[in-house]
Amino acid sequence: MVAFPSFVVGAVTLGMVLIGVVPATAVGASMPIIIAAAAGMFLATIWAARIGESASAGISSIVGSFLLSYALLVLGLTHNWYGIAPTAAEDTQKVFVISWIVIVTLLVLVAVRMPTIFLLLFTLVDVSLVLNLLGIIQGSANMSKAAGWALMAVAAVVVYLFLGAATHDTGGKEFPMGRPILHG
């Protein structure tokens, strides 16, 4: 349960950025939230690893790494920390997004052995990344907005997971999560 709130706030914040709730010139305003969400995910990683939940630890560390690397990318490009010319910023964003598409696609492939809700979750994250990449390549604000809305759907799935876990931990029945596609 430690990871869910951090995952939700990270997805909602990044989703609002992509949708355009804040102008591109004010994207730095989301960085404290994104960095705090990354810290929460790393805390969840340590917690899960400590109790032997390696899959949860791995997923939490991937989400935390994404959030932290996103914050470092935005802050670095905004403040010219990396010496990347403004003309290369778009290509830098492509490298970032493509790299994370690879990692999240691996999660999608692994998720076929997990309850179906995780397959849905990771597929939605992948869809968001692909839409974001298309938005960068095509210079399309609509694609970026669609990526943001896909992240809002990600947040909704994680809220469902959180509520199910909270219900279970307080004596109720866990919410249905669907059967894995691959068994055994």
> Does residue 23 surpass a pLDDT of 80?
yes
Structure tokens given for 27: 């994207």
Closest CA to 18 of 5, 1, 30, 7: 30
> Does residue 15 surpass a pLDDT of 90?
yes
Closest CA to 34 of 15, 21, 58: 15
pLDDT in tens, 56-98: 999 999 999 999 999 999 999 999 999 999 999 999 999 999 9
**Average pLDDT for the chain:** 96
Parse the chain into domains and list their residue ranges.
3-169
pLDDT range class, residue 25, cuts 50, 70, 90: confident
**Do the Cβ atoms of 132 and 18 come closer than 8 Å?**
yes
pTM of the model: 0.95
